[in-house]
Structure 1
Amino acid sequence: MDLDTFERWMDERQGYDVKTILAYLRTIKQFIKWVEEEREIDFTGPETITAGLIRDYRTYLAIISKKEPATINKALQVIRIYSRWGVEEGAIKTNTALRVQYIEEPLLAPKSLPEDYVDVLRDAMKSESLKKRVLIEIGLGAGLRVSEVTNLRISDLKLKKRGGEIRVRVGKGFKYRTVPMAPDLVELLQEYLHGRTDKDGYVFLAQNTDHKMSTRAVQKMVENLRDKLGFYFTYHTLRHTYCADLLNSGMKITDVAIVAGHLKKNGMPNIATTARYVMSNQYELAKAVRKMARWRQKRAGQNKGDEEI
């Protein structure tokens, strides 16, 4: 059973997007390479996989390759998907990959920008082009993924004085959603689109062309910004910040799930995905530890003063 058949199954039967398919193929190829080179086993397909082999690979990733738990668990997930394909195709009877546990790790909130970092970013954008400002504000104010931003058309926007809407026609997993916009983002978009006559054209065009801006161009813009500002973030970090801010401002978790596109296949909100934003992130945990250290220093000073008295 070749990987081309596995690729078609992911595309036609599972409906995965191109980016996900390529990532899964890359992951399973890395596993196959390890099996053949490190274990010297001829890999013929799903029937080659055993629970013991997967456990050894999990150990290899953790101890030898020093991969993070999230990376290891993603590899285990892909092997499970590959084995499930083997079951559906009749190559194996049971999915032995299900017998191998994921590595347990604390469930932290996705990395979002602290409030002071957002302020620094917005201050820096005042000296950038209007196009770059709009790209950043759509991430912070509407939570769009980078692929959703580059595929956005003018006809997908509803711009009104008191607010507006963005129609995301093809989100992750081919999910449609409507995202409300605050008046300040609407005003910025109106300013940016002033004079455009191509009502169904892409909102963000590549430089000096009528073609849409590439996702790589957006990512490159963010890379240049973070080099300039001195702290790390990606365009997806803006989406995480948007979701976290919605919850912190008091929005119901079901509503956040809807506008963020965290939906099940039946269209119901996927609360489990959105609930991660309620958890503390690594930055907040580090901040809490620093606060504890200051409290200890203060307490030690008070105790010393009591002894002198």
Structure 2
Amino acid sequence: MSDREKTIVELTKHYLRYLKLERGYSPNTVEAYKHDLEWLLGYLEQEGVDPLSVKLEDLEHFAAMLSDHGISAKSQARILSGVRSFYRYLVLDGYLDVDPTELLESPHLPQHLPEYLSTEEVDALENSIDLTSNEGHRNRAIIEVFFSCGLRVSELTNLKLSDLFLTQGFIRVNGKGGKQRLVPISERAIHELELWFDDRRQMNIKPGEEDYVFLNRRGHHLTRTMILIMVKRQAEAAGIKKTISPHTLRHSFATALLKGGADLRIIQELLGHADLGTTEIYTHMDDESLRQEILLHHPRNIKHEGDND
């Protein structure tokens, strides 16, 4: 093996270790980044270009090669994102002084705007729930926590009692890649949870399930499918014609904050997005300039006159 090949092998090994240990990415995510890097390294080897001597022009030719191979725009964008990640690491770790990908453009992707619900539609969704049923207060709490905290469905199904700090007004969320974040929870959501806890205390909970917040009638924690079915049924009961899912409520959370004036980077943190670009899709929702402040703009946290009368 040549010195050049040894250098590339070492760079790759250190980069993948960085993704795993410092960025906390899952094995599947690390493997995906490795696959992206293999595209680049294979091309550079064929062209006789040292990865540490790459210029913007080389990367633009690489992007053109991906297109010539018939790779979809979405896959091209993903591969180039992985390439940017690699060169950001090289700058961060001192291998390079300048990031050659800084001006590298991704292919234009058609923007699929997420469906979302207005506050009034969320209220209609909650009001359609039969609170006399065994799952009534639970389902209402689920919808309110989705809308007030912007959780992914997997984050909600895995939410534990030990993750709740309701006195302080926060919950701890275990997100993608094992990353944790603290998310404020509104008084409305806390109220709905307390009503559910009154019912929950009457249940026969299965061993090992005691710490899960949301349970089915048999005392097991809920699955993604159970929540999906519940949300769709309630949308139908509320007369909502939009095609919605639990993720729609996450979009609704982000949209409500943005419309209220919250900073995009704060929304990024609350949603647990690793990349601000993922959050930017919400900027189409409102033409007003983003203002400062955050959680007090969310409709569940705004206090109106007469609330304390």
Is the structural similarity TM-score above 0.5?
Answer: yes
- Which among 17, 26, 29 is matched to residue 8 of structure 1? 17
Equivalence for 2:306: none
Give SS of 1:167's match. strand
- For the Cα contact (< 8 Å) 1:10–1:16, is it kept in 2? yes
The answer to whether the aligner puts 1:82 opposite 2:86 as a matched pair is yes
SS at structure 2 position matched to 1:253: coil
How far apart in 2 are the matches of 1:206 and 1:6? 43
Equivalent residue in structure 1 for 2:32, among 26, 32, 46: 26
1:204 to 202, 210, 214: 214
* Alignment correspondent of 1:244: 255
Q: Tell me what 2:284 maps to.
A: 279
Q: Answer yes or no: is the 8 Å Cα contact 1:110–1:240 preserved in 2.
A: no
Q: In the alignment, which residue of structure 2 is the partner of 1:304? A: none
CA distance in structure 1 between the aligned counterparts of 2:244 and 2:50, rounded to whole angstroms: 39
Bigger shift: residues 224-233 or 147-156: 224-233
Residue 80 of structure 1 and its aligned partner are, at CA, apart by 1.2
Distance 1:264 1:225 in 2: 24
Which of 63, 66, 82 does residue 72 from structure 2 map onto?
66
Q: Partner letter of residue 80 of structure 1? A: R
Q: Is 2:116 the counterpart of 1:113?
A: yes
| Aligned counterpart for 1:179 among listed residues 175, 181, 185 | 185
CA distance in 1 between counterparts of 2:93 and 2:102 reads 17
Q: Secondary structure at the match of 1:204?
A: coil
Write the deviation string for residues 59-111 of structure 1: whole angstroms up to 9, x where unpaired: 4666733334xx644432321111233455666665333342244679x8962
* Corresponding position of 1:261: 270
The DSSP-based 3-state class of the residue aligned with 1:41 is: helix
Q: By how many angstroms is 1:238 displaced?
A: 1.4
Cα 1:144–1:224 change in 2 (3 A) is closer
Aligned pairs for 1:117-132 within 5 A: 118=122, 129-130=135-136
Matched residues, number: 261
Which residue does the alignment assign to 1:235? 246
Structure 1 contact 257–271 (Cα < 8 Å) conserved = no
1:241 shift after superposition: 0.2
Note if contact 2:36-2:82 (Cα within 8 Å) is conserved in structure 1. no
Shift of the 54–254 alpha-carbon distance from structure 1 to 2, 3 Å rule, reads closer
Aligned 8 A contact 1:153 1:202 in 2: yes
Q: CA deviation at 1:232?
A: 4.6
Tell me if the contact between 2:152 and 2:250 (Cα under 8 Å) persists in the aligned partners. Answer: yes
Contact 1:87 1:94 in 2 (8 A): yes
Instruction: Choose which of 129, 136, 161 in structure 1 pairs with 2:143.
Output: 136
* TM-score, length basis structure 1: 0.57
Structure 2 Cα separation of the partners of residues 88 and 119 of structure 1: 47
8 Å CA contact 2:173, 2:181 repeated in 1: yes
CA–CA distance in structure 1, aligned partners of residues 33 and 102 of structure 2? 17
Q: Greater CA deviation, 218-227 or 71-80?
A: 218-227
Secondary structure at 2:214 match in 1: coil
Question: Which residues in structure 2 correspond to 1:23-62 (within 5 Å)?
Answer: 23=29, 25-30=31-36, 32-33=38-39, 36=42, 41=46, 46-47=51-52, 51-59=56-64
> What's the CA shift for 1:182?
0.5
Identity of aligned residues (%): 19
> TM-score, normalising length from structure 2?
0.57
The code of the aligned residue for 2:153 comes to V
